[in-house]
């Protein structure tokens, strides 16, 4: 809560322990950097140890990593207690950023492919929430941030599974915000527009028309940078946002309201 803090340090993340899935690359890594600059300790989580190790070398002493595959639910139990044993406190900022993209028309997307995208982007976040939340609540509460997408806001062709997953997040945010507000946990989503990372390059590659379409409806006239998404993540995870829960903030250069 904000009453004891001066306006100057409301945006500080000092004293917070953040857990960021997919924190070894792209937007997740940018969020990790911004969190550390704002005073947090950060655990980046993902599947590839070398990538995480390299990222931690870059992030410095206030970072650590956990090897997890968010789709491997059977390996979630015990994670929160491991974190407490290692870092001396429970996670109080969780960023569900891990995601995969699949660019295919609906009629070409098999149910298995569809389910696979949902499992990573949506069910994996649910599994991790459930593992980390009890200790977060007992430790005094915190904040969960889901990384959504424009695919949850308007119709985009060839992203049926991704769009279903990110739209599902909107429901998760609402239900969790209602259930967890009284227990001291805020739950919000960030909806990045078109940001320059590997995942978006894959979606745009060999598709100049799609790229042109994106830029033509983006009032700021350019793609976004991971650091610009990260700045909003700092805000929503900080005490400056202490009265914000259940919200989705677009970080999109105006793309979602563009003509
Ligand atoms: P990225 O591919 O660099 O990041 C995704 C991260 O998730 C990677 O580090 C990857 O290893 C990790 N990941 C994937 N499956 C995983 C699993 N099963 N277990 C653990 N980690 C796993 O791409 P980017 O762009 O940084 O994406 C981050 C998030 O932002 C994603 O949720 C994506 O959907 C979302 N997003 C990205 C946009 C963009 O334009 N780049 C736009 C809107 C949303």
Question: How does pLDDT run across 26-75, given as a tens digit for each residue?
Answer: 999 999 999 999 999 999 999 999 999 999 999 999 999 999 999 999 99
Q: Provide CB contacts within 8 A for 142, sequence distance 6+.
A: 16, 91, 92, 93, 94, 136, 184, 185, 186
- The angle, 0 to 180 degrees and rounded to 10, between the axes of the packed helices 124-138 and 160-180 is 20
- Inform me whether the pLDDT recorded for 226 exceeds 60: yes
Confidence of residue 205 (pLDDT cuts 50, 70, 90): confident
Q: Which positions are catalytic?
A: 162
Q: Is the pLDDT of residue 78 over 60?
A: yes
For the chain, how long is the longest CA-to-CA vector? Answer: 55
* Residue 61 CA to ligand 1 centre (angstroms): 24
Domain boundaries, the chain: 7-195+224-251
Phi and psi at residue 147, in whole multiples of 5°? -100, 105
Query: Which pLDDT value is given to residue 162?
Result: 98
Nearest to 178 by CA among 170, 169, 166, 186: 186
pLDDT score recorded for residue 200:
79
69's CB contacts (< 8 A; 6+ apart) are: 47, 75
pLDDT of residue 39: 98
On the question of pLDDT at 110 being above 70, the answer is yes
Cβ 71 under 6 angstroms from ligand 1: yes
**pLDDT attached to residue 5:** 57
Nearest to 147 by CA among 97, 103, 196, 181: 97
Q: Is it the case that residue 252 has pLDDT exceeding 60? A: yes
What pLDDT band is residue 20 in, cutting at 50, 70 and 90?
A: very high
- Residue 182 CA to ligand 1 center (angstroms) comes to 30
CB atoms near residue 14 (< 10 Å): 10
pLDDT of 198 reads 82
Q: Is the pLDDT of residue 88 over 80?
A: yes
- For 89-104, write each residue's pLDDT tens digit: 999 999 999 999 999 9
% pLDDT > 70, the chain: 96
| pLDDT for the residue 222 | 96
User: What pLDDT does 123 receive?
Assistant: 98
Q: Is the sign of the CA dihedral 218, 169, 82, 116 positive or negative? A: negative
| CB contact set of 89 (below 8 Å; sequence gap of 6+) | 17, 139
pLDDT(76) > 80: yes
| Superfamily of 7-195+224-251 according to CATH | NAD(P)-binding Rossmann-like Domain (3.40.50.720)
Model confidence pLDDT, tens digit, residues 179-196: 999 999 999 999 999 999
Q: Which two tokens stand for residue 199?
A: 């995942």
Q: Which of 65, 74, 98 to mutate to test the pocket of ligand 1 (most atoms within 8 A of CB)?
A: 98
198 ligand 1 Cβ < 6 A: yes
Nearest CA to ligand 1 atom 43: 149
């Amino acid at each position: 809560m904000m009453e004891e803090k001066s306006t100057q340090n409301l945006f500080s993340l000092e004293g917070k322990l953040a857990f960021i899935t997919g924190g070894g690359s792209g937007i997740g890594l940018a969020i990790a950097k911004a969190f550390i600059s704002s005073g947090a300790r950060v655990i980046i989580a993902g599947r590839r140890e070398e990538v995480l190790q390299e990222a931690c070398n870059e992030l410095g002493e206030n970072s650590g990593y956990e090897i997890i595959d968010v789709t491997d639910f059977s390996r979630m139990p015990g994670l929160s207690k491991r974190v407490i044993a290692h870092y001396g406190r429970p996670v109080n900022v969780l960023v569900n950023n891990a995601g995969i993209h699949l660019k295919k028309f609906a009629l070409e997307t098999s149910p298995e492919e569809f389910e696979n995208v949902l499992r990573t982007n949506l069910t994996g976040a649910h599994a991790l929430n459930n593992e980390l939340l009890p200790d977060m609540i007992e430790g005094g509460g915190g904040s969960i941030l889901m990384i959504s997408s424009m695919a949850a806001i308007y119709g985009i062709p060839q992203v049926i599974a991704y769009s279903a997953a990110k739209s599902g997040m909107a429901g998760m945010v609402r239900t969790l915000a209602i259930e967890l507000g009284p227990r001291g946990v805020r739950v919000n989503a960030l909806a990045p527009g078109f940001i320059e990372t590997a995942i978006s390059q894959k979606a745009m590659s060999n598709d100049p028309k799609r790229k042109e379409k994106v830029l033509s409806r983006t009032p700021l006239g350019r793609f976004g940078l991971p650091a610009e998404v990260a700045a909003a993540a700092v805000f929503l995870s900080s005490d400056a946002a202490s009265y914000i829960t259940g919200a989705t903030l677009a970080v999109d250069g105006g793309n979602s309201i563009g003509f």
